[in-house]
Every structure is written in C-alpha cells, then in structure tokens.
Structure 1
C-alpha cells in the first residue's frame, strides 16, 4: 500500500427524516452486520436494501481491514443484484487474490497464539514462507443509487453512471500518475488508445473541476470462479483517477476509469461493468448530513521493506495515520443512534500492486472527522 489519493463519501442520517429525492433517482445507504461464522469468505452474504427502487441500482461497498498487520489483503465483490419483493437485494463475497507460494493463507481461528508457536516458526524456517490470515469483514457499508444525478440543494451533487471495459491494466503498464497527483499524459494517452483506460467527462452542474470519484465493479455477466476459501483467480480492482487541473485547460474536467489486475497476471477477455459516482459538496439536506470530495492518505512508499514486511508494514503505517475528511463537522452527539457511514475509492494507481482503499476506523477531533 502506498500514498493513495482517494474520494470519500461520508453520510449520517438524522432521526425521523426522509432522504428520498423528490424527482431524482432513488438512493439508499446503510451498514450490514455480518453474523456468519466466517463472514462472507466461504459463502455469499445477502444484503436487502430498504428503499423501493424503480430500476436496478448501482452498488458501492467499503472494504475494511484490521490494523494488526496479519490481515491478508482482500476486497468485497458484488456477486449479483436482484429484485426481492418491493425492493432489491445484492449478494457479496469477501475475495482474495492468488498469492505467492511464499505466503500461506490461514483462517482467522488459527491466528490467536499461532504466530509464536513452534510449528509456525518451523514452517517459516523450513519452507521460507510467511503466514497471513483470512479475517472476515464483520460490517459492510453500502451505498445504492439508480443512474442519474441528485442535487443536494445548493450544497452538493451526486451523479451515478456506468461504463463497460474489456481490457485491464497490469503491473507491467506504466504508472501514469506522480506522487503529487499529476498525470503524465505521455504515458496515459497510449493506454487510452489501447482501450485500457477510459476517459470520462465531468458532467455540467458540478461547481468544482475536482470532484470526488468512486468506482465499483458491478456483477459480471461471466461470473468469475471463487474458491471455497475466497480466492478469486480472475482478480481485478477498479480505479477512477482525476485529471490534473494544473496541467493546462485541455486536461481539465476529466476522470480516467478502468480495472487493474495488479500482479496477479490475470488477462481480462470479456466486458466488465464499472459503476461510478462523481460527488462534491458538504452540508445538511432533508435530514441528510453529508461530506463528499477528495482526500489523501499518508505516504508509505519510501520504506525499504523486505520479505513479508512489504505487505504488512505499509498497511500498519497507513492504519496508524488519519486522513482529514474536509467538511465533516457532523453532529457527533447523534452518532450512537445514527452511525456515520463512509464509502471511499482509490483515485490513484501508485505502489507495487496498484494500491487500494480500505477502511480501518474513524475518530473525531474538534468537531471534525478523520478516516484511517
């Protein structure tokens, strides 16, 4: 994991109010507690939406991770979206990429006390392997929205849309973004021409040239194979990268969207649908307290890591830092009855494996909110 440019989407619903748009697309959000013994790793979890949608919504999820450095990198995959009664439901699995032969994945119940055991130490010495653990994500935060645009009064705006891609970036493709967030268009343009990156124009109505962008892969027509232990051989993750607004007017007003197979060497050979949100603003609208926009995580690119530290140390360092969520001066006194929900997405492709965006925890300080 590296320094990551992210977009955040922070929401809190006040008691006794309704957040339906009068004439715009329907949207819904919430947090589901997962009670299955192994979470959504071995079996699909079902989450039923509360609102009555007129069309199938796009779904966006927030993966989580523990900060102990032993949690194997994973993500959440939407397996299907389907009609259920007067609303919609969706299935979700917690999935893992295929890992190096030097890494052993074990279940969470073998974590406690195992690290110091003679058996684990013997494996590390004899086989030169490292052990990471499949730790279930127990809370899944989601945002669902029909395609279209919601104007949150004069304070904010959310646009939901989708596009299809059939090629992916991989570890061999050039990193076209600098640590400062600028884009090297000499490296980017050939990737656009090859169909590996899609340019998206920011719609009219957004006040900022730099809104936040959130992307999520929607259920695939050709379902990928997920093993009983959650390993997905056809591993890809979405990215949505803002154009640089300080590199000339020709580059203003765009996002760049696609999927990344990182170091898994998977080659995409069919259409995949990416749902994306463009968001901006903060304030209170019809009982919905919201903060939407871009942010930036700490830089962990500079460490000279070796062995398993390449995976565990950056995660622990990222989890030790907090990211300021601008505009998040929420009423924290109501948090116990109305949890604050966060959705975020990576807006960069930096780091050895393309980087990712996961949620650890929130803390408040002087009326503001910080995410790590």
Structure 2
C-alpha cells in the first residue's frame, strides 16, 4: 500500500479526543438531557427525513415532536392510572408486609437458626433512619424539582435542534476531515450512524414488547403489581439479565406474601425465565441484530464477551461496540486485501 493510502492519526488528536471523553464522563449528569435527546433523535430521525421532503426539515421536526409528545401523553393518560393504582396498593400494603413475611418465613427460619442469626447480624448494622434521610436528601427538595423541570423543558428543545440542525452539524464535522479522506470518512460515519440508530430503535421495540409479555404473564399468574413489575422487567432489559435482579425477586416476594404456595412461586420463576429466554434467544438477536446489521450470533457474542470483560457497562454498550468493531474489522480486511503481499505483488 502506498504511503498516500495510509491514514495517520496525530498524537495530539488522540490526546484531545481522550480529554474530551474524560470531560464527558465528569459532566455526565449535566449532559443527561442531551443524551436523552440524542436517543430520541435516533428514534425519530427516519420519520423526519421522510416528511422533510414535502414539508421542509423545520416543520417536519415540529410535527414529529408534537406527534411524539401527543403519543406520550396518551400513553401516560392510559397507563399511569393503572401503574399509580398498583404503586398505591404497594405502599398501602407495606405495613402488613412484615407480619405476612413472619407468618410465611417464620417456620422456615426456626428450622434454620443459623440463617436467621446471620440475617440479624447483617441487619443490626443498618440504620433505617439514616437510610431514609439519605434517600430524602438525594431525591427531594426544591433544587431537585427545579432540575427535573429544566430537564423536561430542555429535552424537546435539544431534540428539535438535533433534528433540524443535524445535517448542518455533520457538514461542519466534514470540514475537519482532510479532503483526500472525506468520502471514505463520510461513508464510515454514515454506516455507523445508521446502524446505531437501528440498534436504538430495535432496543426500544424489544423493551416495549418484553414489558407487555412479562406484565401479562405476571397478571395471569396472579402476581400483585403485575404491570408495574412488567414495566420494570421490560426496560431493565437494556442491561441483559438484569431483570433477574430488578423484577424477579420482587415478584416472588409479592406472590409469597399474597399467599402463593411453593409450587406457585416455582411456576412464577419458571414462566419469568421462559419469557426472558425469548428475549435472549429471539427478540434481541433477531430484532436488534437485524436493525443494527449484526448477525444474531454476533449479538450474543457481543453480550457475552463485553459483559464478561467490562461488567454492567459492557452489557449496556455491547451491541454499539460490536457495530463499531465490525465496521473497523471490515475496513482492516479491505486494507489487508489491497496490500501487495496479498494480491501477489512485491511487498
């Protein structure tokens, strides 16, 4: 390969990029509205692109955002009363929860005194009032309310500018790329952008379907707060396998205090696992994989490998990282196959 065909990245550029990533990490809380707006922009951009051909990008963006807000309001109007009713029932039932637990678990603890001793030893070090105080300081107060209100106002505004000014911002980034590499850089960036957008839209669809399936399963099995637990299970699927921590233990606890037998609890766990397996085996590999341009096996490989290497963070970013890695691998193979050594010329 000729020297002209090689892409050399200056060390200063790498340092600048690293400093930028570090700054983003420290400002992650303040940048939450921008991140949320960026995710929504990926979801809504295809519809804006279609409408922009007839209405122009500004009016198309306004119409799509208003439509998205209307859909969100309708969903909130339809679902929030149901969810709030379940939350209210949960809060109301908390005082009697201790007595029910003692009635159900008391005989078992009496038969296993060592377990009870260990549990009491762990609980003795807890200060419930200190915990309540910390939670109250973190979640309450006028400042927290104002920040939430500002975030609620900022997200639609940022989303509008991302949808309207997105093409212009990309054009400004193009001006930073050397002209000899511009077309190739635009092709790579466009491919990454399209696949990441497909991944986000696919993941959103999976979360909605899993919320519905898991909530329906809990409802059929008679688990209290079924739809609330289904919503938690569906959207915590963004981190693979996390519903086994965020949704299954509460479901078993609520079912147990509601009088469900041991066999019934086993059935709840079994049905929950089967529904989760449909997400692992079908929905994520096929829906997310198809939307992101990855083979189902590549999606599974990404989740297992990045999850093992980087833990929860690796699970969250497994598919986006695999998208970038696959594109980078393809480019490296293209360079390798174009090398004189490969095509049979002089090295």
Fold match by TM threshold 0.5: no
Rg larger in structure: 2
Give the strand-richer structure, 1 or 2.
1
Higher relative contact order (CA 8 A, sep 6+): 1
Give the helix-richer structure, 1 or 2.
2
